Structures are given as structure tokens and as C-alpha cells.
Amino acid sequence: MEKRSCKINRLMVGLLTVLAWAFMLFINGAVPFLASPTLGQAVWTTGFALSFIQDSLLSIHATNFGNPNPASIAFGLAGAYPTGILISLGLHPADAYTFMVAIWLTVAFYGAWRIGSFLGLSPALTSLGALLWTSTPVIWAHAGYSMVSLGIAMLPFYFSVVINFLFKIVNKVRFSFKSVIGYFIVSIIAVFMDGYTFMMFAFGSSILGCYILIQYKESRPYLIKRAIPIHALSFSLAYGLYALYIGKASYNPAPLDFFRGWGLDLSFIAVPTRGILWLWDTLGLSVSRSDAQFFGDGSVWITTFSLPLIIMGIIAWLLTRKGSRLATYFLIIALLGFYMALGPSLKINSTKPDSLQIERPNQMSALMPSNLAVAPTGNEILFEHVPGFNNMRAVYRWSALGMFGFWALILLLLVQKRSSNARYIVIVTIGFLILNNLPNLSHQWQVYQNNRSMFLQIDNDLVKPLSQELRPGEKVAFLPYRNDFLVNYLAPTLGIQTFNIGGDKNLEEARKNWPEIMQGFKMGQLDPGFSGRIALLLTEGEATAVVLPYFDMLLAAHYWPIENCYQTEFEPILQEIEAYKLFEVDPSQQYALIRLKPLYNAQAGSSTLSAILLSEMKRLPSNLKIVDFPFDFTFHQVGRVENGAIYTTGETGFLCYGPYVSLNSGQYRLTVEGEASFVDNAWVDVVSHKGTHQYAKFPLSTTSSDSSNVLASGELTINEYVEDIEDIEVRIYVSASDTMRLDKYELVQIKPKDKK
């Protein structure tokens, strides 16, 4: 009888665990073949996965997009690579992505279960605790950021490995080689899952190590000899492997105004945002928020409501601090997590002034100047100067570490309350917190189903027609380039090669290696040299086809179908290109395709084809005014192009040369603008005939704060033996010691050549 009762109990516990796990997957939209947690990041990630798997099972670099160099995925290799394996097994990319999310969420659920088990919870209650963690909005509301969501979900799993390892040493249990390997593996998974949560894990586990050193004096020799070296080595190895993979130690840090804008406002913790949580919407206690009012973006205020969890966590600490040495540790990391989430400045319902939207339109208005904050928090030195921390620009995400600490305290309370009444109260409270976590389930499920439907519709509406027009292996440019998320999926699906790539960090890296003609395009702009560069790109053989999408390829990856908002803008471009005899234009419903005519394909890259193009190309007006980098057909030998300007990088060479265009003879004024703090041997000249004919040369000078930022200015006369010049160049030369930023130059005709 007793045996049968035990079997029934085990069966009931197993059933409860499975139900909690299944409900967790449902809340997060991780149900393969029925739904997808997100669309945009699923498209972006599966693009890398497809490109990996098309090379080989061992490939971890994408070769279809971000050409000419193989592209490393900026974050999320731990998600993209398994997705590639699943695709190779025959799953559609949409289902492979969802399956991958389900796998990692299962690991996260197990990690939360393991923490509860370590603290002393019964199997039935560990499942309840695991559901409490994996149902939090900071996880499911971050689904649109893919691996950020999974990294947050995995925090208990990461910490369970470290806690288990350290307490084996504290209890003088002989730890196995397997546990050491586990420590290394979990650090590597963390860094390749998501940089934010890797830093939280490294930060929180380091504090845990210090805390145990203080609390367990008798174990200090063992901890110092065994734990500290393994801890330091595992995180160093993980970071080293990541740096080796992406090819650099870190990405460029953002300005403090970014950290401030994406810092956690205390009102977001205390009051939920309308349309996110079912309970508070039903009670009418949520408020509307938008980026027209608040700094940062929606993720800052839809993922961070946590007041019930915080209150319950603090009560739990007050009741458990004497019974558990870990209670104060969990409180410390909870408070530090929320403190770091504030960013450099304290915000309490801090809203944008009306003037800011006018002065700094669009995304710039999301950045927050220091004078609009309530007070400094004192942690800005970390975000400004400390590696790792200075790349965590969306600082509100530190709140996930804070929530983890308070969640663990609630589990401790459940362990320590052994009387039936007290335990019942705690269980009911956990039930309330789970209810507090939930979205409107029917609406959210519809969103998840729509994500999968839209993914499949992209295949039908876009991949299918493009596959009939683009040949596998050919080089294609999608112009004008933007943060082209959708290209990540299109390129490997179609089997083509392209310069374009989605992801701001990936785009920044890819642009450094693009051909000069491709670098000449301006991000998201149809400038005066746009059609000319398309012509050059095709005649020089840098691309065999150019696609002009009528829609935004970043937004289209997040919602499909999407409005053709650029079709009208492309009409004059297409007319201009059709006027050339070299090209054929094939417009369709959602894009226009431009190629060389078949007659000229074999001559791509030849001087003959270039000569034909130059003979057809419209002459630039005599009043030539070229502004903003990259200039029409202007190239650079040294320097770094960024935000419409070019910066010196401590190298000697031409910061600017070209644009090799026709120019009428006459008198001109040259003006070079920018900012220079030190000039040793920098100059600008105007030449033609491959630099053999020089018309003027002027030295560049330093600028002061009250100047008009003019680096050089002067007049010159172009008076050749022929009527006009065919290859005019403006060259700006710098030495290694020169420090400057070049904003623009103007070459303006002030007097035409005298007629005889």
C-alpha cells in the first residue's frame, strides 16, 4: 500500500512538472509547428543558421551575407548553431528556431528547478518555483531580442552550476573533474548566448565567491586554492574565445546619454504598462507609455514591472536571513542588479520635453541628456571606463539579475516555512506572482501564431519570386543598404552572395571591408550619386545584380507584408538607369532588379565597359558641390567613416580622394570643413590626369571652439588645353600624427572659363 502511494505521488509530481513545463513553453510561444516567439530575430538568426549549415556542420561563420569577409554573429551563436543543426534535419527555419528556443527554455526550467532543489524544496514545489521564474515578463517580453530573452531565462541554470561547485568545496566534498568541466562549459554557453547576461553571470558569481569567502572562514584555503583559479580561468577562457570569434576584444562603447536613456525609471518598476499584463489591465491599474513620452524604447518599460516580486523578496529576506547564509547574498545581488539597471542617472517618471523631439528627432530623442535626470547614481564610471560594462548600453536589463535575486529569496522562504499554514500562504503568494506575470494569453498566443504565419508568408511572397530571378552563387547588392535584417534570411535561402547584412554591430564590421564603390553609398539615402554608383557597381563586376526593395528590410523582417513605401522614390532612379544602354531594369510588385544586359556580361570589370559607361554618364553640373561622406564617387585610403564624417586613425595616407568626375574649366572655390585638434603635415589639393596635373594645394589647419570649423579654403583656376576635365580629384592627405574629423568639402564654380 505504501509502495503504491509513493508511486502515485511520484506520478503526480511528474505530471505537475510536465504541466508546468508545458505551460512555460506556451507562455513563451515556444511551441514548434504551431507558433514562433518572434519574427524579426527568428529571421535574423535563421539566416546565420542557414549560412552556417550550407558550408558544413562545423561552420560558425556566415558566408552568404556581409561579404566579402565571413560574418561572425554578434551575439547568439549558442542559439544560431543549434538552429542550423535542426534545419539540416529537415525542419523549416521558423520551426527550427522555435524548437531551439524550446530546448534552451527547457534547460532554463531545469536550472530553476535545480536551484530550488539545492535550497531544499520538494520536487512538486521546485516545479512551481521554476514556473514562477520562467513566466516572468523580463523573459517572454524580451522574445523580440531573441538570445537576450534566453540568456535571462538561463540565469538560474548558470548560477546552479556555480553554487553547486562552490558548496562542494565549502562542504569539503571531493568535486569531480566533470564539475570543473561544467563550470567551463556554462561560462562558454553564457558568453555565446548573450553578452548582457554573461556580464550579469560573471558579476553575480564573482560576488558569490567573495561572499562565501567571508561567510565560510574555515573553507578559505580550499576556496583560494581551487575555486578562485577555476572561476577566473573559466570566465577568461570564455571571453577569450568570444573575442577570437568576433575578431576583436569588444565593440565600441555607446555615449553615456544612451546608457541614461535606456536606464530603468523607478516608475516602470512600480506601475505596469498597459497592454502587457492581463491582471493589471483587468484591474485598470496599468498606464499607457510610448517613446513619444519616455526615453529609450518600449523594452525598457514593458519588461521591468516587478514591485510585487520585490516586496515579496524583501519580506522573504527578513524572514530567512537568520536561517540561511545565502539569504543576504541573494539580497545583495538583487539590490545591485536594480542599482546597475538605473544607469548613470536616477529617473522617476522622467519624460521628454517637447523641444527634444524637434532638436533631436527620431532615434536621437531616445538618448537622455544628464540635465534632465533627477540625480546621478554614481555608477557612470563603470559604464564609461570599465570593459564589458561599457558595452551594456541597454542598462535596464540589469534588472533581470535583481529579479533573479528576489526570486531565489522567495524560494528560500518556501523552504524555511515548514508549518502547513505558513507554507500555504507562501504557495498562494507564488500563485499570485505567476498570475501577475501573465499576459493576455489568448491575445499573446495569437501573436505567436501570427509570427509563424508571417515567416511562411515571406517564403511565398518574396523568396519564391526572387528565386526565379536571382541565380545561386551570384553577387547581389540590395540598395540603398540599411540594417537589412531580412537579407540575412534571403541570401542563404536563395544561395546568393551579398554585401548587405542585418544587425548594427554586424553592419559596422562588414562595411569596413566593402569595395570602395559599395562604401560610397549612403545608408538609407538616394543621394545624387546613387544611380551612378549602381552603374559602376555592375560595370566593375563588383555585383552581378542590384535589387531595389520598395520596402524597409528591417521593418519587413518584423512584420510582413509591409507597405511599399519607397517605390515612388525609386522611379527617377530607374528612369535614369534605363537611359543607359548597358543595363536592363526589371520592376516587379515589391522590388526592381537591375542587371547588365546579357550582351555585356562577359565584359564586366573591363576597361572597355568602363569607357562605354563614362561616355554615357551624365555630366555633373558646372557648379559642383559635394557634401557629406562618403562623397559621390569619393574614396578613402585611411580613416574611419562614421555618422556622415571621416576620422583619422593614426595612419598616413589619403583621407579622401576622387571623385574622378567631369568638370568644366573655370574658376572655383574649395572649402574643407571639419574639426582638427592637431595638424602636422595635412593638406588638400585638386588634381586631374591621375594626379599629374595639380591646380591648387592648401595646408589644413587646426580649429578652435569658436571657429566655423573651416580646415582649408581657397580659390583655384582650372584652365586646360581641352574644354573640360574628365577625372577631377580632390585629395586630402594626413600624416600619422594628424588628429581630425572631416565633415564635408565644397568645390563651387564662381566663374566659368572666358570664351574667346
Average pLDDT over residues 411-437: 90
- 500 CB-side CA count, 13 A: 34
pLDDT tens readout for residues 151-175:
999 999 999 999 989 888 887 776 6
DSSP secondary structure string for all residues of 616-667:
HSPPPPSS----SSSPTT-B-SSSEEETTEEE--S--EEEEB-EEEEEESEE
Cβ atoms of residues 736 and 657 within 8 Å: no
| For residue 699, cis peptide bond before it (omega within 30 degrees of 0) | no
Co-location of 645 and 736 in the same domain: yes
Q: Which residues pair with 675 in a beta bridge?
A: 741
Q: Are residues 609 and 675 in the same domain?
A: no
Within this chain, do residues 647 and 737 fall inside the same structural domain, yes or no? yes
Query: What mean pLDDT comes out for the span 49-74?
Result: 93
Residue 338 to residue 398: CA distance in whole angstroms: 6
Range picked from 82-96, 649-663, 673-687 for highest mean pLDDT: 82-96
Predicted local distance difference test score (pLDDT) of residue 421: 85
Domain boundary among 616, 631, 665: 616
Is the residue at 60 inside a domain? no
| Domain presence at residue 107 | no
pLDDT score for 480: 93
- In a 13 Å sphere around the CA of 733, the CA atoms on its Cβ side amount to 13
Number of domains in the chain: 2
- Which position has the higher pLDDT, 37 or 508? 37
- Domain stops at, among 562, 583, 616: 616
575 found inside a domain? yes
Does 17 have pLDDT greater than 70? Answer: yes
| 566 and 523 within one domain | yes
Could you tell me what percent of the chain has a pLDDT over 90?
A: 58
Look at residue 410 and tell me whether its pLDDT is greater than 90.
yes
Which residue would you say has higher pLDDT here, 180 or 356? 180
What's residue 614's pLDDT? Answer: 64
**Rounded mean pLDDT of 208-223?**
88
Q: What angle (nearest 5°) sits at the alpha carbon of residue 370, between those of residues 369 and 372? A: 75
Q: Is residue 221 part of a domain?
A: no
* 478 vs 357: which has the higher pLDDT: 478
Rounded distance, CA 637 to CA 734, Å?
10
With beta carbons less than 8 A apart as the criterion, state whether 247 and 205 touch. no
Res. 367 pLDDT band, cuts 50 70 90: confident
Predicted local distance difference test score (pLDDT) of residue 656: 84
The band of 615, judged by pLDDT with boundaries at 50, 70 and 90, is: low
In a domain, 555, yes or no: yes
pLDDT digits (tens, 9 = 90+) for 284-294: 999 999 888 89
50-69 burial: b if 16+ Cβ within 10 Å, else e: bbbbbbeeeebbbbbbbbee
Give the residue-averaged pLDDT of 413-418.
85
Whether 594 and 719 map to the same domain: the answer is no
Which has the minimum average pLDDT: 298-307, 372-381, 583-592, 643-652?
643-652
Confidence of residue 706 (pLDDT cuts 50, 70, 90): low
pLDDT over 60 at 263, yes or no: yes
Q: How confident is the model at residue 80 (pLDDT cuts 50, 70, 90)?
A: very high
How many other C-beta atoms can be found within 10 angstroms of the C-beta atom of residue 571?
Answer: 11
Task: Say yes or no: 610 and 648 in one domain.
Answer: no
* 660/610 Cα distance (integer angstroms): 13
Where is average pLDDT lowest: 9-18, 180-189, 524-533?
524-533
Q: Please say whether the beta carbons of 61 and 501 come within 8 A.
A: no
Q: Are both 475 and 612 inside the same structural domain? A: yes
The more confidently predicted of residues 323 and 477 is: 477
Q: Is the model's pLDDT at 621 over the cut of 60? A: no
Predicted pLDDT at 332: 97
* Predicted pLDDT at 329: 96
336-361 average pLDDT score: 81
- Is residue 496 in some structural domain? yes
Q: Give the domain range for residue 539.
A: 469-616
Asked whether residue 600 is assigned to any structural domain, the reply reads yes
Partners of residue 671 on adjacent β-strands: 713, 746
With b meaning 16 or more CB within 10 Å and e meaning fewer, what string describes 141-163?
Answer: bbbbbbbbbbbbbbbbbbbbbbb
Are 583 and 481 members of one domain? yes
Q: How confident is the model at residue 93 (pLDDT cuts 50, 70, 90)?
A: very high
Residue 478: name the closest of 409, 560, 566 by CA: 566
Q: Are residues 710 and 744 in the same domain?
A: yes
475-478 and 497-498 as β-strands: parallel, antiparallel, unpaired? parallel
What average pLDDT does this structure show over 610-624?
53
Which CATH number characterizes residue 581's domain?
3.40.50
- pLDDT-derived band at 724 (thresholds 50, 70, 90) equals low
Degrees to nearest 5, angle at CA 233 with 165 and 328: 45
Greater model confidence, 419 or 421: 421
**Mean pLDDT across the chain, nearest whole number?**
88
> Which of 616, 632, 660 is at the close of a domain?
616
pLDDT reported for residue 222? 83
Do 651 and 732 belong to one domain?
A: yes
Question: Between these two residues, 263 and 175, which has the higher pLDDT value?
Answer: 263
pTM: 0.81
On whether residue 601 sits in a domain, the answer given is yes
How large is the average pLDDT for residues 666-689?
87
| CA distance linking residue 538 with residue 477, whole number of Å | 10
Same domain, 511 and 611: yes
pLDDT at 132: 97
Rounded Cα distance, 740 and 732, in Å: 12
pLDDT band at 248; cut points 50, 70, 90 = confident
Is residue 483 domain-shared with residue 560, that is, in the same domain?
Answer: yes
Q: How many CB atoms lie within 10 A of CB 365?
A: 18
The β-bridge relationship of strands 475-478 and 545-549 is: parallel
Q: What percent of the chain has pLDDT over 70?
A: 91
- Per the structure block, which three cell numbers stand in for 694? 595639380
pLDDT greater at residue 645 or residue 193: 193
